[in-house]
Amino acid sequence: MLVSPSIISSKLENLGNQITECDRAGVFSYHLDVMDGHFVPNLTMGPDLVRAVRRCTKKTIETHLMIERPDKFYKPFIEAGSDILLVHHECLVDLRKLISGIRDENAKFGLVINPETPFEKVRDLIDEAEILLIMSIHPGFSGQKFMDSVLPKIAEAKKYIKDQGLSTKIEIDGGVNDETGKKCADAGADILVSASYIFSGKIGERINKLQVL
């Protein structure tokens, strides 16, 4: 299982060392949660923090844009060092136009769906996405409880991707720990995002626990 720690729950005063610990544990990527106080009721980081993470690691940085206007802000995040932008289907911008803008900047596109959005709503865009990120909580805050109701959607997406011969990876975000992560793995997830579980214990050990699911 590939693991992508969300640094929203890291100790920011010690970010460099925490990233080194994650790197040593062999994480696949870093997950940066960008919130604008409109699309979700919380405010977090901007491009400067992405730039700081970029200086600490050579691994992939995925930037999860929980903002109303990703079309206005994707460029500064790519300039700051994001390799892949995770954009919500629910943000109501013209996604095909945005995808081509992201590609023009030599970055990758990942598609995100909220718990209540059915897979069929995004089926036609899957072949454009490097990653399909399925939210297993309502976005906005870390530390929420995993929603088992998304498990059938993971299996449905996995089957479609396999049947179509696509290489899109399925990633799960929200309430992931060693127990809920196992359910995701069994349903077909490729990448697990985790914030509070990883950073509230021994970082390396917790990452390793997720990796073997």
Residues that bind Zn ion (CB under 5 A): 33, 64, 173
Q: In this complex, which beta carbon is closest to Zn ion, that of residue 44 or of residue 165?
A: 44
- DSSP secondary structure of 40-56: SS-B---HHHHHHHHHH
203 binds ligand DX5 (CB under 6 A): no
Check if 83 is active-site.
no
Across 43-166, the runs of DSSP E, i.e. the strands, are 60-66, 84-88, 108-113, 131-135
170 interacts with, out of ligand DX5, Zn ion, none, CB within 5 to 8 A per kind: none
Q: Can residue 82 be called a binding residue for ligand DX5 (CB under 6 A)? A: no
Active-site option among 23, 33, 71, 163: 33
Nearest distance, CB of residue 193 and Zn ion, angstroms:
6
Quote the CA–CA distance of 7 and 9 in Å, as a whole number: 5
Residues sharing a CB contact under 8 Å with residue 201, sequence separation 6 or more, in sequence order: none
Distance CA 85, CA 43 (A): 18
Q: Which is nearer to Zn ion, 33 or 71 (CB)?
A: 33
- Chain positions 4 to 33 lying near ligand DX5, rule: CB under 6 A, are 6, 8-9, 31, 33
Measured from the CB atom, the residue of 119 and 197 that comes closer to ligand DX5 is 197
Known catalytic residues?
33, 173
